[in-house]
Amino acid sequence: MKIPQDTTRPALTDTAALQRQRDRARRTGFVDLFHQIAADEIDDRLIEVNRTFTAPAVVTGFPEIWSPRFPQAHVVADDPVIDLEPGAHDLVIHAMSLHWAEDPIGQIAQCRRALREDGLFIGVCFGNQTLAELRAALAQAEAEITGGLSPRVLPMGEIRDMGGLLQRAGLALPVADLMPQRVSYRDLAHLGRDLRAMGEGNAMAARLRRPTRRAVMGRASAILATHHPDRDDPSRVNVGFDLVFLTGWAPSDSQPKPLRPGSAKTALADALNAIRKTNP
């Protein structure tokens, strides 16, 4: 399937740099904390669905993590054109890569195309409040010292906007929900090392191509320590990561349908009055 490219919009992600970061993280000891949290949550959700999926697929930039968690799944890379056959799967999981996608709706639409009728799509990625504390500290420090701003933390989608992508991609019964996580670090340098070990460093196409001035990083570290100390240990800093989960189904005649407007048998006012009488 050919995916049209918008050549008028500047690229968000330097895909070569992103791949280098992922490869370096693999070589130096990958930190997979959020992948394991996401996989555990998906396991729980699949149990609640109470259905046996016989042809699952996983789309991810981290196959070494997700293949063992879903050993029966066909695992493919998060390339712009996803290597999935149309209608071949009853479950497609897009795992911890969607926030880097140049075309997230295109990624979801391709997953939708790979689903059989009444197949399930689950996506998980970082949401827009991820590292908000770091973003603010770096912006303030750079503005104070250099008088400018540089792209340093990836802009990520708001949950309402991401939920809307499900419908635009043709999925039914769309649901988007949030799992916020708080993490404690010794300091800014510790956080930076962890991000690199996750393969989640700055791979934006518009990033600075020279080292950041030491004074900027020192000031950002001080701001982070002052404004976001860990509640249990004020000598450490506390930052947030938002995991956004997206769920939708390939349309099927067997799925519940909304009632036609005006088809209700009881007026809303009458229903509310009945509730008041039974619960005075």
State pLDDT tens for residues 8-44.
668 889 999 999 999 999 998 899 999 999 999 999 9
Evaluate whether residue 91 is within a structural domain.
Answer: yes
The domain tally of the chain equals: 1
Average pLDDT over residues 183-207: 95
Confidence of residue 181 (pLDDT cuts 50, 70, 90): very high
Alpha carbon distance 192, 200 (integer Å): 9
Give the C-alpha distances (Å, rounded to integers) separating 167 from 88, 154, 204, 240: 21, 24, 28, 28
Is it the case that residue 218 has pLDDT exceeding 70?
yes
Helices (H), 5-131: 15-28, 33-49, 63-69, 104-114
Evaluate whether residue 142 is within a structural domain.
Answer: no
Average pLDDT over residues 159-175: 93
Is it the case that residue 255 has pLDDT exceeding 80?
no
Evaluate whether residue 161 is within a structural domain.
Answer: yes
Evaluate whether residue 194 is within a structural domain.
Answer: yes
Evaluate whether residue 218 is within a structural domain.
Answer: no
Alpha carbon distance 137, 269 (integer Å): 51
Average pLDDT over residues 158-177: 93
Is it the case that residue 226 has pLDDT exceeding 60?
yes
Evaluate whether residue 232 is within a structural domain.
Answer: no
Sign of the torsion formed by the C-alpha atoms of 180, 186, 187 and 189 = negative
Confidence of residue 1 (pLDDT cuts 50, 70, 90): very low
pLDDT of residue 12: 87
Confidence of residue 3 (pLDDT cuts 50, 70, 90): very low
pLDDT of residue 253: 77
pLDDT of residue 2: 43
Q: Give the structural domain span for 243.
A: 15-131+151-208+237-278
Q: Give the residue among 94, 62, 33, 93 at the shortest CA–CA distance from 241.
A: 33
CATH of the domain at 39: 3.40.50.150
What percentage of the chain's residues is helix, strand, coil (to nearest 5)?
40, 20, 40
The model's pTM: 0.86
Evaluate whether residue 96 is within a structural domain.
Answer: yes
Is it the case that residue 244 has pLDDT exceeding 50?
yes
Ranking 4-13, 61-70, 125-134 by mean pLDDT, the lowest is 4-13
Evaluate whether residue 143 is within a structural domain.
Answer: no
Mean pLDDT of the chain: 90
